[in-house]
Each structure stands twice: as structure tokens, then as C-alpha cells.
Structure 1
């Protein structure tokens, strides 16, 4: 049996800490802007596929073989709901800081955080399932597989945006001061 490391804190979840990224005094602002850009690219990629599907014309047939339907929208809706849940949770409640007297508040915040990430993971799994079952196994030309790729791209970028926004909001701002004695 080995002895615990000297800097081991039993309250930590991960044994190895995340790398410290030094982005200067504007890291909070940069994280928020990057998360917003990822959010916009995610939703625009799927909206582009939906608009392209609605106006698609195939020269060799009268009607395209496949369209983006409501089933394709469901994973994105799940991911958006999960994104909203994750972003709206107070970070101090998750940690249990600032003297929240109700221990159930910390537990509920962690439960809602889990539900938010579960919704996003379910949206990603659903988009991959739709890509495989509807577009890949349907033997459609590569032109129509773009609809499924855009759906998966949307869900991946929404998850990345939530993670970047979480890390950006957890960073100290340029107007915050840490006073220690």
C-alpha cells in the first residue's frame, strides 16, 4: 500500500488536477466569448442543414430521398435544455462554499448538474444514433449524410461550449480580489 501524496486533498474528485491555463487577466472574458462562439457555431451548423434540407432539389429525382424532420431536432433540444440547466447552476452551491446552511441545497445543485450533463450526453447519443440509423444505414448519397453530420456537430459543440463556459465562469474576473492574511 502506498502513502498518499503530500498535496492530496480527500475532498477532491479527480486524483490528477486539471492543467492550469494562464490566459492573463482577461481569461474569464475570453472563456465567455469562446463559449458563445461555440454555441453560435453549433446551432448554426444544424440550422444550415435544416434549411438546406427544406430547399434541397435533386436533379435526378423529383423529390429528395430524405429530409430533416422533427426526429432530427430532438437531440438538439435535449442538449439545449441540458446546456441551460448546467449554465444556470450557481457554482458556489456545487462546491458547498459561502456557508449555505442547507446541506440539501448542495445535494440538489449537484443533482441538477448531473441531470444537465445527462441531457447533453443523451442528446449526443441520440444524434449519433440518428446519424447511423437514418443516414448511414439508409444508403443515401454523401450529400444527404450532411444532415446527420450537422446534428452530431451541433451536440458536440454544445457540450464543448458548456464546458468552456463553466471553466470561464469559474475563473476569477479582473475586478475580483483575493484577500488572504
Structure 2
């Protein structure tokens, strides 16, 4: 498939350009707050599981049996990976990824896109790692539901971090209430 010569731009990577959304006067601010709320919810969920694991005690009917599993460093690694991915994704200048506003250097646009890909790869790796930890550490060993919660909290943390990154990316990419797009 080829584009008409008038629509062809050699700097473009994708055929479909980024959409330009206008969400209204305060919707950009609400999107940023929603992303922050998802970020807080993600980390609160996992910290709840970690604190619950640290204070887990033996069953009341048999005090000689210790809890079978605790949250360890392996459980923290996927969340750290997703958090680094979120930071990398949101530190990228959106205009540089698009190649707009005088960023004529093709290498700078390519590097920005590569770093953006690395950020998304870290987030995808964090999600895959959390699902792997859930299955291998909690589900296959058939622990009680109260111990499987540690794995579910890990997966939900990574999903919420990914959603937070997407919402923040979209919220920061829309035109703000004080921005004007003038064209001749």
C-alpha cells in the first residue's frame, strides 16, 4: 500500500498519525489526577500485600506451623520494572516522538522512539513477571486463598501501573486549556 505523494513524510514511522484529542477545559487535569490515583492504588495494593505477608502468623488451631509463604524480593522485581517503565515513558517529550516542532534531526526522533519502546518493554516485562510469579509461586503450589492474594496484588499493581502510564500519556498529549494551535 502506498500513500499519495502529498501525504508522504519520510520521517513518519507509522501510516496512521497520532490522534489529536481535545478533551475540554478541565478534562486534561482530571486525566492527570486519574493517573495519579491509579498509581497510588497500584502501589497501595502491593504494599498492603507486603505488610499483610510480614505480619502473617500461624493458624490459631495449630501454632507450630509457620506461614507457608511470604512476599520476598522476587515479588518486588516486577513492580520495580513497571515503575521504571512508567518513569521512562512519561519523561519522553511527546513532540519529539512525533517529530514535530523543529525536531528535524531524524536520529533524535529515532532515539526518542527507541527509549519509548524500552519503557513499554519494561512495563510489559513487569506484567509478564508478575503473572509468572503468581503462577509459579502461588497457584502451582496450591496455597490457601489468603496466600494467593499476594500474587494477585502483584498482578493488579502492574496492571494499574500500565493503565496509569497510558492515562497520563493521553492526558499530557491532548491540547491544554491555555494552548493555542495557530496555523496559516
Name the TM-score, length of structure 1 as normaliser: 0.88
Residue-by-residue CA offset, 1:106-154 (whole Å, 9 max, x unaligned): 0100000000000000000000000000000011000100000000000
Q: Work out whether residues 21 and 174 of structure 2, in 8 Å CA contact, stay in contact via their aligned partners in 1.
A: no
Report what 2:91 is aligned to. 88
Query: 2 CA distance for matches of 1:105 and 1:72?
Result: 36
Q: Work out whether residues 82 and 118 of structure 1, in 8 Å CA contact, stay in contact via their aligned partners in 2.
A: yes
> Which stretches of structure 1, 4 residues or longer, exceed 4 Å deviation after superposition?
8-12, 14-18
Query: 2 CA distance for matches of 1:89 and 1:16?
Result: 18
1:177 pairs with 2:180? yes
Moved more, 91-100 or 52-61: 52-61
1:99 pairs with 2:98? no
Report what 1:129 is aligned to. 132
- Are residues 89 and 66 of structure 1, via their aligned partners in 2, closer, same or farther at CA, if it must alter by over 3 Å? same
1:166 pairs with 2:169? yes
Report what 1:66 is aligned to. 69
Report what 1:24 is aligned to. 24
Report what 2:14 is aligned to. 13
* CA positional deviation for 1:14: 6.4
SS in 1 for 2:25: helix
Q: Which runs of 5 or more structure 1 residues have no equivalent in the other structure?
A: none
* CA positional deviation for 1:4: 7.7
Name the TM-score, length of structure 2 as normaliser: 0.87
Query: 1 CA distance for matches of 2:180 and 2:17?
Result: 27
Residue-by-residue CA offset, 1:29-71 (whole Å, 9 max, x unaligned): 1110000000000000000000000001132344110000000
- Are residues 52 and 34 of structure 1, via their aligned partners in 2, closer, same or farther at CA, if it must alter by over 3 Å? same
Q: Work out whether residues 120 and 159 of structure 1, in 8 Å CA contact, stay in contact via their aligned partners in 2.
A: yes
Report what 1:42 is aligned to. 42
Q: Work out whether residues 54 and 67 of structure 1, in 8 Å CA contact, stay in contact via their aligned partners in 2.
A: yes
CA RMSD, 1 decimal: 2.4
Report what 1:54 is aligned to. 54
* CA positional deviation for 1:103: 1.5
